[in-house]
Amino acid sequence: MAKNTYKQDQPTPVSRGNEPRPPRATSARPAPAETTAPRENRRASEAKAAPKVPRPSFKLPTFELGGMFAFVRDRRFQLFLGFFFLLGSLYLTIAFLSFLFTGHADQSVVAGLDRTPVKEAGQESGNWLGLVGAMVAQVFIYKGFGVAAFALIPIVFFLGYKIVFRRAGVSVSYVLALCVFIMGWLSVLLGYVVHSMQAPDADPALSHRLDFLSGGIGYEAALWLDSLIGWGTVLLLAFLLISFVVFFFNVTTLNLPRFGTEQEESNEAAPVPHNQFSQPSPRGNYATPATLEEEEKDFGMTVRSLRPTPAAAPPVTAQAFEDDDDSDDTDVPVVMSGSVASPAASVAPVAGAGLLAGAGAAVAGAALPLTVAPAAAAISAAGAAATVAAAGATAASKGPSFSIESAMDPEPVAVLPTRVPTPLSLADLADADAPLPASTSQQPSATNQQPTLQITKPNELDPAAGADMAVIADEDEDADAMPAVNYDPTLDLSRYQYPTLELLNDYGQAKAQVTKEELEANKDRIVETLGHYGINIASIKATIGPTVTLYEIVPDAGVRISKIKSLEDDIALSLAALGIRIIAPIPGKGTIGIEVPNTKKEMVSIRSVFSTEKFAHTEMDLPIAFGRTITNEVFVVDLAKMPHLLMAGATGQGKSVGLNVILASLLYKRHPAQLKFVLVDPKKVELSIFNKIERHFLAKLPDTEEAIITDTKKVVNTLNSLCMEMDRRYDLLKDAGCRNLKEYNRKFIERRLNPKKGHRYLPFIVLVIDELADLMMTAGKEVETPIARLAQLARAIGIHLIVATQRPSVNVITGIIKANFPCRISFKVTSKIDSRTILDAGGADQLVGQGDMLISQGSDIIRVQCAFIDTPEVDRLCDFVGEQQGYPDAYMLPEVVGESGGGNGDLEDMDPAQRDSMFEEAARVIVTHQQGSTSLLQRRLKLGYNRAGRLIDQLEHAGVVGPFEGSKAREVLIPDEYSLEQLLNTLPK
Ligand SMILES: Nc1ncnc2c1ncn2[C@@H]1O[C@H](COP(=O)(O)OP(=O)(O)OP(=O)(O)O)[C@@H](O)[C@H]1O
C-alpha cells in the first residue's frame, strides 16, 4: 500500500538519543527564535540540497491565476472598478440623452474629425459631454444599436453596483441577459421599421430623421433579414421574443382563461401564503399548489423560478467571483477558489498537484518531523493530513516509540491525496542535524529505548474537506428530484440568493503552531511523569489539533488504566499547562489519550469550515458545521437528527460565537421557505443582529413588533404558541397519513395534499434560547413545561430547540430538561460539578476556552474547536440576506389566547375551561399566607408576572381577594382554608 510503503521507505528521522538530555526547565520550552535562526537557515539550505521531490508536470491554474490576478481580490481595486462602472453608467446616460437632442448636428462634427482640429470640433459639438460624449453616443447609438443602446446603461450600472455594494438584491446576470436581448431585438425591430419607412413612397426627410432609432447594426441586420426572408422578419422577431420570454421567465404552462364553472373553480384556488397565518404572498398565485386533479384540469400558467436549475448551472469559481463580482448571482452554490477554467478542469489538476506536492511535503517531513504546519489553510484547506511520519525521531533513547500523526488517518502513514502543497516549509521540517538515512525503522533499537517519535501532520488530508471547494448551499434535494409540475416552496422568493463565502473573513493559510520542541518536551514529560509512578509506556503517538495535541499512549502490558486516570492532576502539573484531559481508554482503541493544549492555538475560521466539501455537499436537513475536531476533521452534525441541543459554558468561553456559528451554518444552507428561527435573547444584544432577516427567516407571534424576543414575559407565550404549532402540525401530519415532516412536505410538494384543507408547506422551526437561566429564574415551570414538551414531541414535526445557558446548575438544567436533550455541548465551565451537570461527565472544566468545546451525543464525547465567526461577518451575512426580497412579514406563529386559557370575567359565568389551571392552587396560597400579592404567587408557584397577575384578577372576581390597592397587597377576603374550600366547591367545575 502506498501509505505503508512510504512509511517504510522514509528516512529515519533525527535521533538525538545519544545527546545528553538538556535540563528539564529548558527542554520544556522551544528555544527562542534568535537562537534557532541559524539552525533554521541551515535547515533551509539543506532542504534545498535534499533530493527533489518530483514536481507535478502540469501547472495549477489556480495558483498561477491567484498570483497574476491577485490584485483582483484587492478590495481597493474592486472599489475602483465598481465606481468606474457606476460613474460610467451616469456618463452614458448623459451622453445618450444629449444625443437625442444634439446627435443630428454632432454627426457632421464627428464625421469631420479627420479634417477639423480637435479643439475646434469640440467647440462645435453640441453634446453635453463634449466631443468625447458625442463620439461615444455616436458609436453606441448611431453606429451601434440606436435607442436600444440605452439598455447598456443598466448593465454598466448594475455591474458597478454589484461590485461596490456586494448586494444580492440585483442579479447582474439577470440584468445582463435581459438588457442584451432588449438591445439586440429592439434595434433589429426598429431597423426593420426604419427600413420599411424608406420605401420609395415614404417621406425621405422623416426616414432620415429616424435613422438613429435602430443604429447601424440594427439597420444592417434588418436589411439582411429583409432581403433573406422579407416579411418573415416580423414573424422571426415575434418568435424570438416568445422564445426569450419562455426561457428567461421559465414559462411552463399558459394561464389562458377558461370558461364556465371550471374557470371559476380554478380562480378560487387560494394563494398559499408564506404560512397559513400570514398574509398571502404577492405572488401567491404562482405558489398555489393544487391537488393533482385540479392541476390536471387546470391549464394555468406557472412562472417558475428564474434561476437555472442546479444541475444546469455551472459551478462558479471564487476567482471568477473576483473577476466578475457576480458569482453570487448564480444559484448554484458551488464556489471554487482557484480556477477560471471549467469546473472539471479545475478540480483534477488541483487534486493531482496537491497529491504530488503533498507527497513532497511528507517526504521532507519524514526526515524532519517535528515542526508541523497546522491544518486548515484555506486552500490546502480541508485537506488532508500531510502525514509526516517520523519514526525514530526520538531523542533520548529509552522507551517506547513516539509518533505524531493525523488522527484523520489512525495509521501514521503518508498517503497524500493532498490537493495543494501544504503550508509546511522544507526548512521547517528539515532537521539539519540529521543526515538523511536510507531507511526508517519504527521499532526502537537496542540502544534507543526511548519512545520513538512518529509525527503525522493532521488535517491536510482531511478527506472530508474539499480543498478550495466552496459550495454555498445545496438546492433542496426534494426539489431536485421533482418533476416540473411539482410545487416549489421556494417560488415566492425564487430569486433568493444563498450567502456566498466572500462574506466571511479569509484568514489565509494557518501557520504552524506546534513546534517539534514543544512536542518532544511534552512527550518527555509525559513519559517521565508516568515513569515516576512506575507506569512504563510502549509507544506514544501525537496528533496535532487546532487547540490541543492528543498524545496516545500504549502502556506496557499489565498497567491499569485507572492508575493513569488518577494521575491526571500530576501530569497536568508536570506539563504546566491547563486543560489536560485524559481519556482512558480512548473509545474503540486500546490506547490512553492525553490531550495537551497547544501553546499557540490555531483559530478555526468559519470560512475554512464552510468551504469544505463535507459541509458544502452535505445532504443533511439542518447541517451545522461546528468546527474541527482534534483530528482536524470538519465536524458537521444534523440538527434535525440531534434533535435538540443544550449548550452551556461559563461567560466568555465562546457560547455566543457558537450560537452564531449554528445560525450561520443554517443560513448558508437553507432557503427562507425551508427554515424559520424563533430567537429568544434575554441579554437583548446577543441576537439582535439577526433582526435584519426578520422577513426571511424569523418567526414571531402575531401583533408583536420585534421578532426577537428579549422580554422574558413574552417567552412563555411564544413557547405556548410553539406548542400549539406543534399540535397543529401533528394534526396535519395525521390527516396526511405521514409520520414526519419530511414525508409530509414531500407529499405536499408532489401536490398530494390539498391546501384548501389547511395543508401547507411546513418549514423547519429552530427555537434558540440564549440564556435559559434567566428564564428559569423568572418564569420557572411556565417555561420548563413547554420546553420539555417541545423537546419530547417536536422532533417529528420539525421543531428543534437550541438552549444555551451560562449556568449549568441543576435548577436551570433540570432533570426533565436534561432528559429531553440527549445532545449537549459544553464550552469551558468553572467546575467539575457543572461539567457533570451538562455532560454527565467531567472534562468541560479542563477545556481551554475560546471555543474549545465538548460535544456529547449519547455516550460519545468529542472535543471540537468551535469555528470562529466575528460579529462583522454575521453582520454582513444578515445584510446579505436581509437586503434581498423577503416575505411581507415574519412567519406568524399561532396566536395564544391567555397563557393557559386564563381570562377575566365573572368566575360564576366563566367557562371553567377558561379558568387558569392553577386557580385553586393560587387561591390556597393566598389564603394560607393571608397575603394577596402577585409576587407571592410568582415565588410560590414559579409563575411569570403575567400569569400571576391574571390569577390575582380571577381571584378577585371569585371574591378571594379584594380590589387593587396601589402598592399595598390586596386584602384577602377569605379568612381560612375551610371557607376557601367551600367557595371553591360552589364554582362550576
Ligand atoms: N471559536 C472561537 N475561536 C476563537 N476565539 C473565540 C471563539 N469563540 C469565542 N472566542 C473568543 O472569546 C470571546 C468571547 O466569546 P463569546 O462572546 O462567544 O463568549 P460567551 O460565552 O458568549 O460569553 P457571554 O456568555 O458572556 O456572552 C470572543 O470575543 C472571542 O474573542
Give the pLDDT band (50/70/90) at residue 645: very high
Ligand 1 pocket (Cβ < 6 Å) reads 603, 649, 651-657, 806, 850-851, 866-868
Give the pLDDT band (50/70/90) at residue 853: very high
Ligand 1 centroid – CA 658 distance (Å)? 8
Give the pLDDT band (50/70/90) at residue 165: confident
- Which whole number is the average pLDDT over 946-969? 80
Residue 681 has pLDDT above 80, yes or no: yes
The sign of the dihedral angle between the CA atoms of 873, 874, 877, 883 is negative
* Nearest atom, ligand 1, residue 852 CA: 1
Share of the chain above pLDDT 90, in %: 17
Alpha helices in 642-701 (DSSP H): 655-669, 694-697
Range name among 225-234, 249-258, 389-398, 504-513 with the lowest pLDDT average: 389-398
Residue 505 has pLDDT above 70, yes or no: yes
Task: Return the domain boundaries, the chain.
Answer: 74-249, 252-303, 639-892, 912-986
Give nearest CA residue, ligand 1 atom 20. 652
Residue type (1 letter), 394: T
The preferred substitution site among 547, 656, 681, 683 for testing ligand 1, maximizing ligand atoms within 8 Å of CB, is: 656
Ligand 1 centroid – CA 652 distance (Å)? 5
Q: Is 562 exposed, middle or buried (0-12, 13-18, 19+ CB in 10 A)?
A: exposed
- Which whole number is the average pLDDT over 287-304? 35
Nearest to 937 by CA among 904, 898, 970, 975: 970
- Edge-to-edge strand list for the sheet holding 469-471: 316-317, 334-336, 469-471
pLDDT of residue 23: 37
pLDDT of residue 647: 93
- Which whole number is the average pLDDT over 348-353? 36
pLDDT of residue 253: 52
Alpha helices in 368-492 (DSSP H): 426-429, 477-481
d(CA 87, CA 723): 54
Q: Which residues contact 782 (CB under 8 A, 6 or more apart)?
A: 716, 899, 942, 943, 944, 947
d(CA 816, CA 300): 52
The preferred substitution site among 850, 855, 865 for testing ligand 1, maximizing ligand atoms within 8 Å of CB, is: 850
- Eight-class DSSP state of 800: E
Question: What phi and psi values does residue 539 have, to the nearest 5 degrees?
Answer: -160, 155
User: Has 653 been labeled as part of a binding site?
Assistant: yes
d(CA 803, CA 538): 44
pLDDT of residue 628: 92
User: Has 649 been labeled as part of a binding site?
Assistant: yes
Which comes out higher in pLDDT, residue 594 or 46? Answer: 594
d(CA 876, CA 370): 40
Residue-wise pLDDT tens digits, 759-772: 889 999 999 999 89
User: Has 650 been labeled as part of a binding site?
Assistant: yes
pLDDT of residue 426: 26
Range name among 215-219, 345-349, 576-580, 592-596 with the lowest pLDDT average: 345-349
pLDDT of residue 264: 37
Residue 688 has pLDDT above 50, yes or no: yes
Residue 480 has pLDDT above 60, yes or no: no
Residue 383 has pLDDT above 70, yes or no: no
- Which whole number is the average pLDDT over 78-98? 85
C-alpha cell at 489: 416552496
Helix (H, G, I), strand (E, B) or coil at 519: helix
Residue-wise pLDDT tens digits, 402-437: 444 433 333 322 222 223 223 222 223 223 333 223
- Which whole number is the average pLDDT over 479-492? 65
CATH number of 912-986: 1.10.10.10
d(CA 540, CA 532): 17
User: Has 809 been labeled as part of a binding site?
Assistant: no
Residue 293 has pLDDT above 70, yes or no: no
Ligand 1 centroid – CA 849 distance (Å)? 8
Please state the three-class secondary structure of 749-798 as a single string.
Answer: HCCCCCHHHCCCCCCEEEEEECCHHHHHHHHCHHHHHHHHHHHHHHHHHC
Residue 823 has pLDDT above 90, yes or no: yes
Give the pLDDT band (50/70/90) at residue 680: very high
pTM: 0.52
Task: Please tell us whether the domain made up of 639-892 is placed in CATH 3.40.50.300.
Answer: yes
Question: Mean pLDDT over all residues of the chain?
Answer: 69
